[in-house]
Amino acid sequence: MSPARNEVTPEGTSAPIDLHTVTHGRLLELMSELGQPSFRAKQVEEWVWSKNAQSFDEMTNLPKALRDELAARCTLGGVEEVARQVSVDGSRKYLLRFPDGVSVECVGMPSRGRLAVCASTQAGCAMGCAFCATGAAGLTRSLTAAEIYEQVMHVRDDFNDRVTSVVLMGQGEPFMNYDATLGALRRLNSPDGAGIGARRLTVSTCGVIPQIMRFANEPEQFTLAVSLHSAVQRTRNALMPGVRKYSLVNLYSALGEYVNKTSRRPTYEYALIGGVNDTDSELQALCDFCEGTLAHVNLIQLNEVEGSRFHPSTEARAEDFVRRLARVGIEATIRNSRGADIDAACGQLKQRAARIS
């Protein structure tokens, strides 16, 4: 067998090929270098993507010699679970570490035969939202498409069940990591990957307008959620300083264009913060912003972040919001915070793990 051409590092040593990042073309080349028929590339990809193999020994339809060659020359990336919390409602929150030591959170939420996963797109976040634990810590780095995908597969394998939907609402701003996010969505959607329907794959953005427009032009019917949190410019600037330059007026027209292009209904996320964005004038501004649009509003009670000056509103206030929005023809739901007892707000498990270690 001729030796495979590994990627060569500046020091002249061969770096292993990460099968989560290698292209199909390069894998075909590798198979040919190893004297293997081309269909082996497809088999390897199936183990890597659909079956989420953790070792080369699992790849039982490959000849033993090939498995050994692959083990010598390639890696499977791989995430390591460093902490988990299990909620009384069955949700499981994981802290996963990548080979370079960077860690992120993801959550699996089972309910009535479904399994929803919330995954991260970045370790940390640079947007600095005032109410968000992830924002407070800043950005460590963006994740690769494979790292976003692997979180979902980790949850799937842990529950030993099919994942029915994914929301990219963990740590990070997906639209500040657009290409990797889209790559992950496509792999999650692909029948050769996780095979999850595009409409069941949701991206949540704090409102990065140029990328909302780009997303509107993607051919797949992925779902969009926009974190609004206030329809009053001054309040929104204070809560979400990272998107100051994308004004509410421009966000409004961008979403109008998004709806025209896609005929899909965007969701607005609105975390109710007592005395900040739950006042009468804030509610009026929200009604004005939504009236006559296709939007659906998700009202979330703020998850309290330790040491934060913000507190959730009352349940009665959330119900007022639902009623008033209904009067202008806007459907709103009060979303239960799944796993509230396990600090399912983004960033919190990581903070706790850091305190423990």
Q: Which residues in this chain contact ligand SF4 in the complex, by CB under 6 A?
A: 125, 127-129, 132, 134-135, 171-173, 206, 227, 346
Separate counts of helices (H) and strands (E) for the chain: 12, 16
Is 105 a binding residue for ligand SAH by CB under 6 A? The answer is: no
Closer to ligand SAH by CB, 163 or 240: give it: 240
Task: Give the x-and-dash track for 169-188 against ligand SAH (CB under 6 A).
Answer: x---x---------------
Dihedral sign, Cα of residue 230, residue 236, residue 241, residue 244: positive
Instruction: Give dist(CA 299, CA 320) in Å, integer.
Output: 11
Contact region for ligand SAH (CB under 6 A) — 177-185, 284-292, 298-306, 320-328? 298-306
Please give the residue whose beta carbon sits closest to ligand SF4 in the complex. Answer: 135
Measured distance CA(6)–CA(15) in Å, rounded: 6
- 290 a catalytic residue: no
Both tokens assigned to 317: 């206030």
Residues 6+ apart with CB under 8 A from 197: 189
Binding status of residue 345 toward ligand SAH by CB under 6 A: yes
Q: Which is nearer to ligand SF4, 36 or 313 (CB)?
A: 313
313: left (phi over 0), alpha (psi -120 to 50) or beta: beta
Point out which span in 37-45, 152-160, 203-211, 286-294 binds ligand SAH (CB under 6 A). 203-211
- The residue count for binding ligand SAH (CB under 6 A) is 16
Could you tell me the smallest distance in angstroms from the CB atom of residue 164 to ligand SF4? 24
Options 132, 206, 287, 346, the catalytic residue: 346
* Beta-carbon contacts of residue 100 (< 8 Å; ≥ 6 apart): none
Q: How many alpha carbons lie under 13 Å from residue 289 in its C-beta half-sphere? A: 26
Q: Does 208 bind ligand SAH (CB under 6 A)?
A: no
Smallest gap from Cβ 125 to ligand SF4, in A, equals 3
Reference 271, options 157, 82, 131, 151; nearest CA is 131
Of the candidates 100, 81, 271, the residue with the CA atom closest to the CA atom of residue 169: 271
- CB nearer ligand SF4, residue 74 or residue 119: 119
Residue 268: name the closest of 280, 259, 279 by CA: 259
DSSP 174: G
**Interface with ligand SAH in residues 118-137 (CB under 6 A):** 131-132
Select 188 or 346, whichever has its Cβ closest to ligand SF4: 346
Cβ atoms of 111 and 184 within 8 Å: the answer is: no
CA 76 to chain centre: 21
- Between β-strands 296-301 and 267-272, what pairing exists: parallel, antiparallel or unpaired? parallel
Q: How far is the CB of 269 from ligand SF4 (least distance, A)?
A: 9
227 makes contact with ligand SAH (CB under 6 A): yes
Determine how many CB atoms are found less than 10 A away from the CB of residue 172.
29
Select the binding partner of residue 305 from ligand SF4, ligand SAH, none (C-beta < 5 to 8 A, by kind). Answer: ligand SAH
Does position 318 interact with ligand SAH (CB under 6 A)? The reply is no
Residue 223 as a binder of ligand SAH (CB under 6 A): the answer is no
74 annotated active-site: no
Nearest distance from residue 140's CB to ligand SF4, in Å? 12
CB 3 within 8 A of CB 33: yes
Q: Which of 69, 105, 150, 282 is catalytic?
A: 105
Q: Dihedrals φ, ψ of 274, to 5°?
A: -55, 125
For residue 215, state whether it binds ligand SAH (rule: CB under 6 A): no
Instruction: List the catalytic residues.
Output: 105, 346
List residues binding ligand SAH (CB under 6 A).
131-132, 169, 173, 204-206, 227, 269, 271, 300, 302-303, 305, 345-346
